[in-house]
Chain A
């Protein structure tokens, strides 16, 4: 049976799984229970943050889950760069939230796009070519991945410091330097994941394309890349989210307030620096979550496909 037939054979089975009519909840009520519990578990913190963002009271413990009054003050404060009354007016000038926002999107977006692109190129080579050092290369990548990047934070700091003396554009306190460090962190895993997927694309597709007249790069662009889109979307999104969440390295490398990424910048609100302003912090977080949610919506189709597709092959 070819993989194509397998895929075809699998399709009707999916259709069978949704039978005409079945008494609701009968028999598998516990499934709903489990999923409800999972949802509550996942949604609770989000609810809390959203509620705190709209709550005029600026502390966490003081506010209930449902605020007594709803206010947009926190949003206004953070967007104008002037946080609530708890902060001094001097500090207010020092909070370029919009910069952080742009930095976040730029750094995460660039990391995601570049890591997907370079990862795909590397994965194609590892999946399709036999060359000396191939196994070693794969193993080294895997090994390096075993250590979280922040373990090397001192080394990274020193490297970036020194590199910055020669190439100031990618030195300390630059976003491009940060992106490069992030790329180093995610490329390995991404390459592995994509290679795994590309291995499942039958070789005969490449061969067929080559006989049809395609060069290796045409095979990559016209066959492999389109077939791998679901996985690329998933990996890109995961890299994006991962980078947005990253704090340690960014806080070590970035120095100037208006170069901060979101996580480093917002940390200031719950750090002692501006006193603890949970309301403003939460407003900032809620706004920062928007691009991820939007992206998720756009990529949803691919993600569902990408997470399940490996099973049946291309």
Chain B
């Protein structure tokens, strides 16, 4: 058991790519920390530096009391689960699991005991004699986990271990890995590009973008109090609705104008975003979560914006309603990158710019313009230039 500390770590690849910039991160003993960010943001690089598979350009990494900058992977007492599992194809499941133990010259009896223990824990007992190619994807994934846990290392490092599984298995394994980690209590750094995975699994989540750490916090805090536009746009499904709005301050009352609609900002919100008060007449970025939007009929007291219905998705338990409202929407570059990766295309201007999570069985007709109530206690405010939250 050990904590992991990264201090001002940089990685510049030979070609000049600055993959990780000035990363400082502290992982507590026994903690499950998820490193999340869009593809190419430097997560794998960061993890590989902790593993010792990639040299550190600058900074220090320590595991427990030891600075490990110059230690080779085998001396760091870590175990890593690779995205493609990296099982040894010529070895049976049990030999795969025992590989690290045998290298450490552990007595045969102990090795067998550990194999049996890991196999039981991961439901692999019937497959111990098989070769990796005779296993399903989920089983291979578990063998990779088994290989990591038998060594009882100080730290687990996992690089997108679930990304090769189908959606259903992914959800199941998500829970199993989280439980396993909880039971073993081993410090874990888990890399994923999937923010749902990050939110559901992590004790804390570290969000990265373009090599820079954006925010580290508990999942709920990340959702409730994003530190900047990137985190706001990246965490949460659907992503936060973001618009340009003009702030007006009149005595105690603060309003924000989105297009033609003027919304009075609730005091609760002003408490959280105190700096908004000082920005009379300035244009800021206003964020609205989809669950802070309601059908106007359900919330007669809330201020409303007008939106035309573009698309309605019935989820059973609720509706995902896509509106176009008359306001300048803001798309953080990072969010665009994510959408690009997901293959989303289209002309930005024609896209719906407001997504609302409504109760089910609501009669919304496409093209119809309807009032949408905004719970202004839940608004978020960000600086238009820097993207920082206006707290």
Q: Is A61 an interface residue (CB 8 A)?
A: no
Please tell me which one of the listed residues B53, B90, B104 contacts residue A211 in the complex, with CB atoms under 8 A apart.
B53
Minimum CB–CB distance from B53 to chain A (whole Å) comes to 5
Minimum CB–CB distance from B339 to chain A (whole Å) comes to 24
Closest to B137 in A: A5
Report B-chain residues with C-beta under 8 Å of the C-beta of A1. 164
Q: Which of A100-108, A158-166, A213-221, A243-251 contacts B (4 or more CB under 8 A)?
A: A213-221
- Give the CA-CA distance A208 to B161 in the complex, in Å: 14
Please tell me which one of the listed residues A204, A214, A227 contacts residue B103 in the complex, with CB atoms under 8 A apart.
A214
Q: Is A314 an interface residue (CB 8 A)?
A: yes
The CB with the most chain A CB atoms within 10 A, among B80, B86, B99, B133, is that of B86
Residues of chain A from 190 to 240 with CB closer than 8 A to chain B in the complex: 202, 204-205, 207-215, 218, 222-223, 226-227
Q: Is B265 an interface residue (CB 8 A)?
A: no
Q: Mark B78-99, 1 if CB is under 8 A from A, else 0.
A: 1110111111111000000001
Q: Is A2 an interface residue (CB 8 A)?
A: yes
Say yes or no: A4 contacts B133, CB within 8 Å: yes
A4-B89, A227-B90 given; A209·B99 CB < 8 A: yes
Report A-chain residues with C-beta under 8 Å of the C-beta of B88. 205, 208-209, 223
Q: Is A275 an interface residue (CB 8 A)?
A: no
Say yes or no: A5 contacts B164, CB within 8 Å: yes
Q: Mark B113-146, 1 if CB is under 8 A from A, else 0.
A: 0000000000000000000110001001000000
Say yes or no: A212 contacts B74, CB within 8 Å: yes
Report A-chain residues with C-beta under 8 Å of the C-beta of B85. 2, 4
Please tell me which one of the listed residues A3, A211, A214 contacts residue B51 in the complex, with CB atoms under 8 A apart.
A211
Q: Is B73 an interface residue (CB 8 A)?
A: yes
Please tell me which one of the listed residues A7, A211, A227 contacts residue B74 in the complex, with CB atoms under 8 A apart.
A211
Say yes or no: A205 contacts B86, CB within 8 Å: yes
Q: Is B220 an interface residue (CB 8 A)?
A: no
Residues of chain B from 26 to 81 with CB closer than 8 A to chain A in the complex: 51-53, 72-74, 78-80
A211-B51, A212-B99, A212-B100 given; A202·B84 CB < 8 A: yes
Residues of chain B from 140 to 199 with CB closer than 8 A to chain A in the complex: 140, 147, 151, 164
Q: Is A8 an interface residue (CB 8 A)?
A: yes
Say yes or no: A7 contacts B103, CB within 8 Å: no
Say yes or no: A207 contacts B82, CB within 8 Å: yes
- Give the CA-CA distance A209 to B53 in the complex, in Å: 11
- Give the CA-CA distance A38 to B354 in the complex, in Å: 71
The CB with the most chain A CB atoms within 10 A, among B78, B79, B82, is that of B82
Closest to A11 in B: B133
Report B-chain residues with C-beta under 8 Å of the C-beta of A205. 86, 88-89
Say yes or no: A214 contacts B82, CB within 8 Å: no
The CB with the most chain B CB atoms within 10 A, among A3, A7, A209, A212, is that of A212
Say yes or no: A4 contacts B90, CB within 8 Å: no
Say yes or no: B140 contacts A4, CB within 8 Å: yes
Report A-chain residues with C-beta under 8 Å of the C-beta of B80. 207-208, 211
Report B-chain residues with C-beta under 8 Å of the C-beta of A202. 84, 86
Beyond known contacts A212-B151, A218-B103: 17 more, CB 8 A cutoff: A1-B164, A3-B84, A4-B87, A4-B132, A11-B133, A202-B84, A202-B86, A207-B53, A208-B80, A209-B88, A211-B51, A212-B79, A213-B100, A213-B151, A215-B74, A226-B90, A227-B89
Instruction: Please give me the 9 A-B residue pairs with the lowest Cβ-Cβ distance, nearest first.
Output: A212-B100, A208-B86, A204-B86, A2-B84, A213-B74, A213-B103, A211-B73, A211-B80, A210-B73
